[in-house]
Amino acid sequence: MTTAVYELGHLDALEAESVHVFREVAAEFERPVLLFSGGKDSIVMLHLAEKAFWPARIPFPVMHVDTGHNFPEVLEYRDRRVAEMGVQLVIASVQESIDSGRVREQRGPRASRNPLQTVTLLDAIEKYGFDAAFGGARRDEEKARAKERVFSFRDEFGQWDPKNQRPELWSLYNGRHARGEHIRVFPLSNWTELDIWQYIGRERIPLPSIYFAHRRTLVARDGMLLWPCAHLPLLDGEQTLEATVRYRTVGDVTCTGAVESTASTVEDIVAEVAATRLTERGATRADDRASEAAMEDRKREGYF
């Protein structure tokens, strides 16, 4: 680090802000949890949490809200990473929510378990008594997320009230809440997709292989390239195709699309992201296409 001028580059400034947020939560809450999907944002979040408490271990568990529709590469990554770091992994299973009758599985070829995750998430928060949940959402992702506070209050139903958010001044976060309520905390609020990739490159953070270009058998459906597997059967008349692709986001296999790309290193991806003309969710998420306010509506109900 140069010491002649006291300036921080943008990645260092973002890192410092996120680390501050992690420590604030660890100091003020009784039972925080970090929501970990195995996607790049939650991976960066975990990396920042590790920095915040080093040389001590991360003082809270991580939780995967598991739809049961995973990319195997991502599950394998999750288990390896969690073991390396010695953190406790809690799995909140959408399948269990279905089996116990808490939610009903959608039917039909375009069924998705994505909306069901909210119930599983809120049930797990209640069951384990978590009072703060770190999420990897970024404000640059989506227009409703652009409106959210770093400390986002949730009532006893887990709901977000976007018209009545607490003022949030300076870096003085108000985490006070009553029993049964909780706070969603977004340490990556001010990071952009490009920042995330530049940081992954700088810090040499390993990622699941599906983020890099590979050959894959896919099906083109609703303007997206989906991966046909046991959870995503082909519809009548659909044909598979082979393509060189990578994933820009990682979620439930039934609603996460691949993008055509030959970017096989982080440097390639940084260049690709800098030049892209499509938002990452626009390019890859079927769940956002339901309506203009799909994300806001899901977030109000307690989604990530």
Partner 1 sequence: MEMLRFATAGSVDDGKSTLIGRLLYDTKSIFTDQLEAVERTSAQRGDEYTNLALLTDGLRAEREQGITIDVAYRYFATPRRKFIVADTPGHIQYTRNMVTGASTANAALILVDARKGLLEQSRRHAFLASLLRVPHLVLCVNKMDLVDYDQGVFDAIAAEFRNFASKLDIGDLTVIPMSALAGDNVVSRSVNMPWYEGTSLLHHLEELHIASDRNLIDVRFPVQYVIRPYSGSHLDYRGYAGQVAGGVLKPGDDVVVLPSGLPSRIHSIETKDGPVAEAFPPMSVTVRLEDEIDISRGDMICRPHNQPSVSQDVEAMVCWMHDDPMRPGGKYAIKHTTRSARALVKELRYRLDVNTLHRDEEAATLGLNEIGRLRLRVTAPLFTDPYRVNRTTGSFILVDEATNATVGAGMIL
Task: Name the minimum Å distance from CB 104 to partner 1.
Answer: 26
Return the number of the residue (100 or 171) whose C-beta is nearest partner 1.
171
Which segment (10-18, 61-69, 238-246, 264-272) binds partner 1 by CB under 8 A?
A: 10-18
Footprint on residues 245-304 left by partner 1 (CB under 8 A):
276-279, 282-283, 292-293, 296
Which segment (60-68, 97-105, 165-173, 240-248) binds partner 1 by CB under 8 A?
A: 165-173
Which segment (29-37, 141-149, 207-215, 255-263) binds partner 1 by CB under 8 A?
A: 141-149
Q: Which residues pair with 62 in a beta bridge?
A: 34, 89
- For tokens 């909306």, name the residue: 115
Q: Give the Cα-Cα-Cα angle 88, 89, 90 (nearest 5 degrees).
A: 120
Of 52, 185, 188, 273, the one binding partner 1 (CB under 8 A) is: 52
Q: How many CB atoms lie within 10 A of CB 201?
A: 15
With CA atoms as reference, report the closest residue to 74 among 119, 48, 41, 97.
Answer: 41
Which segment (38-46, 52-60, 109-117, 254-262) binds partner 1 by CB under 8 A?
A: 52-60
Which segment (2-10, 33-41, 117-125, 232-240) binds partner 1 by CB under 8 A?
A: 2-10
Q: Is residue 10 close enough to count as binding partner 1 by CB under 8 A?
A: yes
Q: Is residue 76 close enough to count as binding partner 1 by CB under 8 A?
A: no
The answer to whether 64 and 91 are in contact (CB under 8 A) is: yes
Return the number of the residue (121 or 295) whose C-beta is nearest partner 1.
295
The answer to whether 110 and 296 are in contact (CB under 8 A) is: no
Task: Name the minimum Å distance from CB 230 to partner 1.
Answer: 30
Q: Is residue 235 close enough to count as binding partner 1 by CB under 8 A?
A: no
Task: Name the minimum Å distance from CB 43 to partner 1.
Answer: 16
Of 31, 102, 177, 231, the one binding partner 1 (CB under 8 A) is: 177
CA-to-CA separations, 105 to 94, 96, 115, 288, in angstroms, rounded: 10, 11, 10, 19
Residues at the interface with partner 1 (CB under 8 A): 1, 3, 5-10, 12-17, 19-20, 23-24, 26-27, 50-57, 139-140, 142-144, 146-147, 153, 162-163, 165-172, 174, 176-178, 189-190, 192, 194, 276-279, 282-283, 292-293, 296
